[in-house]
Structure 1
Amino acid sequence: MRDPHSPPPGRGRGPYRPRGRRFPPVPRGARRHTLLRAQLGAVTALLAVLLAACGSGSPSGSASSGGGSATKLTVPAGSVSAAQGAFQYTVSQGFFRKNGLSVTTPLSAEGQLKASFVAGSVDFDQLAGGDVLDLYAKHVGVKVIGCTATTTGYYLYAKKGTASVAALAGKNVGVPSLGGAPQVAMEAYLVSKGLKADAVKFVPLGSIPNVLTALTSGKIDSGLLSTPFNFRADKADLADLGYATGPPTPYLVNSKWAKQHPDSVTAILKSLADGAWSYQTHKDDAVTSLGKFLGLDPSKPADKATLSKSFDAYLPPVQAPVGRCSADYFTPYVKYQPASQRQSLKNLTPLIDNSYVDSLDKQGFYQKLQQTYGPLPKGTTLAQVLR
């Protein structure tokens, strides 16, 4: 379509000249030079556009030039655990790409992940419930958009010969970071056994693998482990003192980013639910993916057995495809947060945003997943997933 502000097209040969004022004829050499200069200008402009397009890769959480929604996300993995199995499968099997998202998952210490939300360098991730409460109490702009379970659990192991939880009074307990989910779970477990929440000393060690190393070397008295590290603790003949549960580990978004990119939040949840449903109904593929993440080889009998047990350990109700969250899942653990934070944690309702899951439910998205993949293991129903 012609620009309405451009002159009308020429008639016959030679350039068009408007009626009225007459212009002197343009010399042939000058005319050729003018045409060449115009062509060079057009090429230069085109190159500038192409270079700008090549250099405009969207950073984490930024808007892409196509549809105005964030497509590239950096989602650090806070632990090397079978608990990450479904998420890593969702990445490696292309479920995020299917929904227009490009996701990378570098490893990160638990404490660093929380700091990334504070700094605004991460827009979406899964974060331990205790850390979520800490961020909310400090008025960091975050929203919980989904949960895979109502609690998160850890296995408590101690030095050989430790007979009971009561024997840990005054001893040290290894955790990845202070104030994180394992510590909160342990404090709740101590209280359930008739001890005070501060009956032990918590030692931050950076990661759960580090906790196991410190425990087997005798540097700490006890520690909280996740799968598959509890299997290694069993092989080392450490004392198994039970299972401590704490708040869930929800999916979290930066509030400001989510408000600007609601379509990306929906795409994230669709990817997570689709990927987890596929993961939990295709064990062979899931075990292969999990082996790559944990550094285990399913072709080796011992590794295959570990991977199989690790997969089974995170089937529903321990983990399900992402569904709704509730403030009630977090409220019982507020008392284990620092006293200075508890007033800010009295009303957790604004922390939770189930609107995205609600919308997908109304659209029949979850029903379609069940039709595609079949029922989830252990007779898990849609109502149990959606909560």
Structure 2
Amino acid sequence: MRKIVSVGGWLLFALFFAVQLVGAASAPDKIRFPYSPMSWNSLPWWMAKDAGHFERNGLDVDLFYEGASSVIVQAMLAGEANFAGLAGPAVVSNVINGGDVIQIAAVVKTFTVPMFSAPAIKEVAQLKGQKVAVSRFGSISHIAALNIFQKAGVTGVTILQSGGTPESAAMLMSGAVAAAMVPPPQSLMLKEKGFRELVGVKQFREWNIPVVENGIAARRGFVEKNPSIAKRFIRAAFEGIQTIYTNKELSIKTLAKYTKVNDEKILDESYRFSVEGLSKEGFMPPEAFSALVEQLVSQKSIDEAASKKLPLTSYFDNRYVNELEKEGFFKKLWQ
């Protein structure tokens, strides 16, 4: 009798242990995800969350707006997060300084911050000798402005740091600058007040400037040890983008929820920017990073000697996107 009870007890224990293992295996991976900016650029993360794509990929993602990319990178290096929604100079700068925050996917591969000007200015050439506002030195808006002047062959422009997008718009409206880099929703306000869009997304696309304006960043040490989580996060983000392209109503609703904007014109303009700017695959062109490094060196934002010691692949890793491509994920997603 004791043997029967003993065997029965062991069977119950084994069953209980097996149930615990199954439960542990099915528990979603928890991810803290800081992001920037608070605009349509972040719609892939919002949509992946609200449409259930993260959950279906076994991820429990805590989204939170952090602000400046440089602040997010510092928080990641301090161990507060392993993934983030950002791209650009902050990624290059941290690697130059010994950090391991890299880019693992691109979601916006064109400049999308438009340049607006006073009504009297009809072409970029007229900005020679004038003042132009960007949000911050070394920001995407700053890099985009430099590319505009390079493409237009314009020199002698004084670039001023406003502190943020609303401040750039205010400087333009007050007459303190002749032009400013201003994305939605402030860009719609400028249009309604008669300011001119000198350069927009269409022109940037025609120029075909290699860039990663926004994407998924991650701690290299973490994703190398957890490649499945990295791939599932990328999958969820691009499933979110596919939902954005195919479900305008839900996209507008999601934009309104996170941006706290209820103006239909602003939301519609933001949605237009998203379908014009969001990429359908996450491959990162190496030339985007070489161009960015060159620009940061020319601005003296990073040390030239230090940059020459590092291969371009120090700043990004396409392996996770490439694996998803080989598995047919992107092809099936857009069929």
Do they superpose with TM above 0.5?
A: yes
Q: 2:64 and 2:3 mapped to 1: Cα distance? A: 60
Match of 2:194 in 1: 237
Q: Distance in 2 between matches of 1:97 and 1:70?
A: 7
- In structure 2, give the amino acid aligned to 1:290: L
Task: Please list, as runs of the form range in 1=range in 2, the aligned pairs for 1:45-124 lying within 5 A after superposition.
Answer: 66-67=24-25, 71-110=29-68, 111-124=70-83
Residue of structure 2 equivalent to 1:20: none
Determine the C-alpha separation between the residues in 1 that align with 2:114 and 2:196: 11
| Partner AA of 1:142 in structure 2 | V
Asked if 2 retains the 8 angstrom alpha-carbon contact of 1:151 and 1:329, the reply is no
Bigger drift between 215-224 and 327-336 goes to: 215-224
1:258 Cα deviation (Å)?
1.3
Say if 1:143 and 1:252, in contact at 8 Å, map to a contact too: yes
In structure 1, the residue corresponding to 2:331 is in which secondary structure?
helix
Compared CA separation, residues 195 and 344, structure 1 to 2 (3 A)? farther
The alpha-carbon deviation at position 169 of structure 1 amounts to: 4.4
> Is 2:304 the counterpart of 1:342?
yes
Aligned twin of 2:330: 366
Question: Which residue in 2 is equivalent to 1:225?
Answer: 182
What CA distance in whole angstroms lies between the structure 2 residues aligned with 1:175 and 1:240?
A: 15
Cα distance change, pair 68–238 in 1 and its aligned pair in 2 (3 A): same
Give the C-alpha shift of residue 253 in structure 1: 0.6
Aligned residue among 327, 347, 350 for 2:286: 327
Mapped partners of 1:193, 1:367: distance in 2 = 37
Give the superposition deviation at 1:280: 0.9
User: Which sections of structure 1, spanning at least 5 residues, go unmatched?
Assistant: 1-7, 13-64, 298-302, 376-387
Q: Which moved more, 1:166-175 or 1:346-355?
A: 166-175
Within the candidate set 113, 127, 142, 2:86 is matched to: 127
Q: Which has the higher contact order (CA 8 A, sep 6+)?
A: 2
Deviations 1:165-211 (Å, cap 9, x if unpaired)? Answer: 34444544333322111111111212222234x73233141x32332
Q: CA deviation at 1:128?
A: 3.0
Partner of 1:209, secondary structure, is helix
- The whole-number CA distance in structure 2 between the counterparts of 1:263 and 1:326 is 23
Residues 182 and 120 of structure 1: is their aligned pair in 2 closer, same or farther, counting only changes over 3 Å?
farther
Q: Kindly tell me: are residues 176 and 9 of structure 1, through their superposed partners in 2, closer, same or farther at Cα, counting changes over 3 Å?
A: farther
1:354 is matched by which residue type in structure 2?
N
1:292 match: secondary structure: helix
| Unaligned runs of at least 5 residues, structure 2 | 6-22
Residue of structure 1 in register with 2:261 after alignment: 296
Cα distance, 1:86 vs structure 2: 2.6
The answer to whether structure 1 residue 314 and structure 2 residue 274 are counterparts is yes
Contact kept? 1:326, 1:352, Cα under 8 Å: no
Residue 318 of structure 2 corresponds to: 354
- Partner of 2:227 in structure 1? 262
For 1:17-56, list aligned pairs within 5 A: none
Secondary structure, aligned partner of 1:105 = strand
Q: In the alignment, is residue 215 of structure 1 matched against residue 205 of structure 2? A: no
1:155 aligns with 2:102: no
More helix by share: 2
Q: How far, CA to CA, are the matches of 1:10 and 1:128 in structure 2?
A: 64
CA contact (8 A) 2:87 2:103 kept: no
How far did 1:102 drift?
A: 1.8
What is the number of equivalent residue pairs in this alignment?
A: 305
Q: Distance in 1 between matches of 2:28 and 2:128?
A: 49
Alignment of 1:177-216 (within 5 A): 177-196=136-155, 199-205=157-163, 207-216=164-173
CA RMSD of aligned residues (A): 3.1
One-letter code of the match for 1:74?
A: R
For the Cα contact (< 8 Å) 2:28–2:58, is it kept in 1? Answer: no
Instruction: Give, in whole Å, the separation in 2 of the partners of 1:216 and 1:328.
Output: 36
Q: What CA deviation, in whole Å up to 9, does each residue of 1:264-298 have, x standing for no partner?
A: 1111011111111122111122122122223233x
Deviations 1:126-168 (A, max 9, x none): 2232222222322311232111243222111234434543444
Determine if contact 2:95/2:314 at 8 Å carries over to the other structure: no
Q: Is the CA contact 2:37–2:65 (under 8 Å) kept in the aligned structure 1?
A: yes
Calculate the TM-score normalised by the size of structure 2: 0.79
Bigger CA radius of gyration: 1
Distance in 2 between residues matched to 1:138 and 1:76, nearest whole Å: 21
Q: Does 2:103 correspond to 1:144? A: yes
Contact 1:120-1:254 within 8 A present in 2 as well: no
Letter in 2 for 1:341: D
1:3-50: per-residue Cα shift (whole Å, max 9, x none)? xxxxx94899xxxxxxxxxxxxxxxxxxxxxxxxxxxxxxxxxxxxxx
How far does the alpha carbon of each residue in 1:93-115 deviate from its partner, in whole angstroms, 9 at most, with x for none? 22111212122222222242233
Return closer, same or farther for 1:295/1:344 CA change in 2, 3 Å cut-off: same
